Chains A and B, each alone.
Chain A
Amino acid sequence: MKNPYLATPAKIEKIIDETGNIKTFVLRPEEPINFKAGEFIELTIPGVGEAPFTPSSSQYETETLDVTVMKVGLATEKLHSMKEGDPVGIRGPLGNGYPIEKFHNKEVFIVGGGVGLAPLRALLFTLLHEIKKFKRIILCYGSRTPDDIVYKYLFPDWLKIKGLEILRSIDKCPEGHKWHETIGVVTCLLDKVKINLDNCVSIVCGPPIMMKFATLKLLELKHSPKDIYLSMERNMSCGIGKCGHCAIGPYFVCKDGPVFTYEQLKDQPEIWA
């Protein structure tokens, strides 16, 4: 049996600047990491440590995988200073991703905020791969300013896809910027979409405060708790449900999640932290 603490060596193949503090790293592992959208990896940054990321690339691309990373702490700061060709390590895939089969023949309502679009991009790629299996795909994406939007270069193509509807908002528009879409927090987009509540799933990923208010808004709009899927962020360290750090009540986010339904978590304390 493979030692679950042993990382697969990988190289940074390409670095894409997304925003002032977000970069996408294209990683080439020595052996393919066959992940499903929503599952995560532990990325070893040599000499610094590991951090958990959900790949943002398509699960159908097996030679390389992308992680989109915001510079927030020690590990991500070091990662941001690294160059193409530098070595990293990957453990995974870990945890449970999105149960795509359960989304078949339904309206799929995706709510993302900021760098939270990273796991959702992997999800989108999977959905678009078999787009006919879904009634509708709606993406509501909020970011702070137009500059903070990740994957800007992908939106023109996405907007052309039949069966995919996209609504975007920004919290505020700095002077000198042009913005013709919605201004306000991402939850204000949720009112604009008419969803068939009897046949939909909603998926939320973003900063904790946004996840909280987006979930509360969905509940207010009468979405069923069992059809709301959340990608939880916790301090996943071992990634295999042993070390304890990512616990939410009796759950270990790394092993039982990171994708949970709100139904699973609603009675647990500290879910929004």
Chain B
Amino acid sequence: MNLQFINKEDILTVLKILSIDNNIYYLTNNLSYEKLSKDEVIPELNIDSVRSLVPLKSFLLTHIDQLKEPKIPKKSNIVFGAKSCDIKARKILDNMFLADPQDPYYEVRNKSTLIFSSDCPDPQKTCFCTYIKGKPYPEDGFDLNFSPVHNGYVVEIGSVKGQKIVDQVQTYFKDTSKEQLSGRDKMRESAIEKLEQINKDFNKVKDTDLQKLFETKFHSDKWKELSKTCVQCYGCTNICPSCYCFFLAESNKSKENPFEKVRYWDSCQVTGYGRVGGGLNPRPKLYERFRNRYECKLNWRMVNFNMYACTGCGRCIDVCPGKIDIRKVVSELI
């Protein structure tokens, strides 16, 4: 494991240097990603907070995409402050979009996106990553990972690209001390403990093989009751870091290419999502579409990719006007 230390006050300097060749998007106090501008003196940088409101997928699969010829951007994007839950969700997107035949638009963005992730020392009340095979810090899938310790960060190098960047600004990095490493361990343990506290009512979720559960719960009569407060706003699928479904349409914008397409994020919760021309609809009822989201995430993607397509980020809980909590839904079915 390749670990370095950086002082807190040096981070902005490093970002400024890197911003010559890269677009830097950093996590802010209000949980959004802001682009670092040249003249900014002190950005509202806060990589120690929880995950951003808008998921990492926005950098890889934009919500509206004109499918012109895919172009490799001149500058790479560095996303600073991405959390473990989003990085895991990216693996689902990779599995979908990089499988043969590759999606050329995703591929180009994926290649030109660098992840500077950070630990999640202070999970919030809807976070439950450790209850669904996750951790509040990433173990892979990043170029650099930043763990807050006294006066600075322990930086883990996770890729060749990450190593190159550290080499480029080597003067700002130092070797780590024992105290810093034990500080990192303590902070991580404390985050896990906080998650235990937050989710103490959902211990059943943690101890259950969810795929096995959902294999047997498709015909449960509880789905109607569980979906009763769903108002079909599609917030849960839009905000989900691993939801990848899109709607493909004609763009009708290009005179040179009459077959140019556009795509939008779509949702399996939409009534007509699966409907075919002849009128057949595999999921005409609300509870059937509601159930589909759970089966997709906790059963079928496990069959395909050996991982859940839910990483415990809790965004769907935060966003739901019907107060539907995925942890409660799963608990009810156990």
Return chain B residues, CB-CB under 8 Å to A249.
Answer: 295, 300, 303
CB distance from B282 to the nearest CB of A (A): 4
Given contacts A6-B259, A237-B247, contact A269 B218 (CB under 8 A): yes
Return chain A residues, CB-CB under 8 Å to B259.
Answer: 6-7, 9, 44, 46, 89
Return chain B residues, CB-CB under 8 Å to A243.
Answer: 245-248, 263, 266
A3 CB–B CB distance under 8 Å: yes
Which of B104, B248, B266 is the one whose CB lies under 8 Å from A3?
A: B104
The size class of the interface chain B forms with chain A is 35 or more
CB distance from A122 to the nearest CB of B (A): 19
Return chain A residues, CB-CB under 8 Å to B294.
Answer: none
Roughly how many angstroms separate A168 CA and B96 CA in the complex, as a whole number? 43
Return chain B residues, CB-CB under 8 Å to A233.
Answer: 276, 278, 280
* B283 and A49 contact, CB distance less than 8 A: no
* B283 and A270 contact, CB distance less than 8 A: yes
Which of A89, A234, A244, A246: most chain B CB closer than 10 A? A244
* B104 and A1 contact, CB distance less than 8 A: yes
B69 CB–A CB distance under 8 Å: yes
* B266 and A234 contact, CB distance less than 8 A: no
B73 CB–A CB distance under 8 Å: no
CB distance from B253 to the nearest CB of A (A): 11
B322 CB–A CB distance under 8 Å: no
B244 CB–A CB distance under 8 Å: yes
A273 CB–B CB distance under 8 Å: yes
Prevailing SS type, chain B contact patch: loop
A140 CB–B CB distance under 8 Å: no
Roughly how many angstroms separate A72 CA and B277 CA in the complex, as a whole number? 6
* A47 and B275 contact, CB distance less than 8 A: no
Given contacts A5-B67, A237-B248, A242-B244, contact A72 B278 (CB under 8 A): yes
* A245 and B280 contact, CB distance less than 8 A: no
Return chain A residues, CB-CB under 8 Å to B103.
Answer: 4, 240, 242
Roughly how many angstroms separate A242 CA and B283 CA in the complex, as a whole number? 19
CB distance from B122 to the nearest CB of A (A): 34
A75 CB–B CB distance under 8 Å: yes
Given contacts A50-B248, A250-B303, contact A3 B278 (CB under 8 A): no
- Closest B residue by C-beta to A255: B99
CB distance from A35 to the nearest CB of B (A): 16
Return chain B residues, CB-CB under 8 Å to A238.
Answer: 246, 248
Return chain B residues, CB-CB under 8 Å to A89.
Answer: 258-259
CB distance from A265 to the nearest CB of B (A): 13
Return chain B residues, CB-CB under 8 Å to A70.
Answer: 278
A64 CB–B CB distance under 8 Å: no
Return chain A residues, CB-CB under 8 Å to B303.
Answer: 249-250
Given contacts A1-B102, A47-B250, A50-B250, contact A244 B277 (CB under 8 A): no
* A48 and B244 contact, CB distance less than 8 A: no
CB distance from B224 to the nearest CB of A (A): 16
A105 CB–B CB distance under 8 Å: no
CB distance from A210 to the nearest CB of B (A): 12
* A5 and B261 contact, CB distance less than 8 A: yes
Roughly how many angstroms separate A229 CA and B60 CA in the complex, as a whole number? 38
Return chain B residues, CB-CB under 8 Å to A244.
Answer: 244-246, 266, 268
* A3 and B99 contact, CB distance less than 8 A: no
Which of A1, A74, A234 is the one whose CB lies under 8 Å from B276?
A: A234
B281 CB–A CB distance under 8 Å: yes
Return chain B residues, CB-CB under 8 Å to A44.
Answer: 250, 259
CB distance from A263 to the nearest CB of B (A): 16
Q: Which B99-124 residues sit within 8 Å CB-CB of chain A?
A: 99, 101-104
- Closest A residue by C-beta to B274: A235
- Closest B residue by C-beta to A74: B277
B273 CB–A CB distance under 8 Å: yes
Return chain A residues, CB-CB under 8 Å to B263.
Answer: 243
Roughly how many angstroms separate A142 CA and B261 CA in the complex, as a whole number? 38
* A242 and B97 contact, CB distance less than 8 A: yes
A87 CB–B CB distance under 8 Å: yes
* A48 and B273 contact, CB distance less than 8 A: no
B72 CB–A CB distance under 8 Å: no
Chain B residues packing against A (C-beta within 8 Å): 67, 69-70, 96-97, 99, 101-104, 218-219, 244-250, 252, 258-259, 261, 263, 266, 268, 273-283, 288, 295-296, 299-301, 303-304
Task: Give 19 CB contacts A-B under 8 Å.
Answer: A1-B102, A3-B70, A4-B101, A5-B104, A49-B249, A49-B250, A70-B278, A73-B277, A76-B277, A234-B282, A238-B246, A241-B96, A241-B99, A242-B96, A247-B300, A250-B299, A250-B301, A270-B288, A273-B281
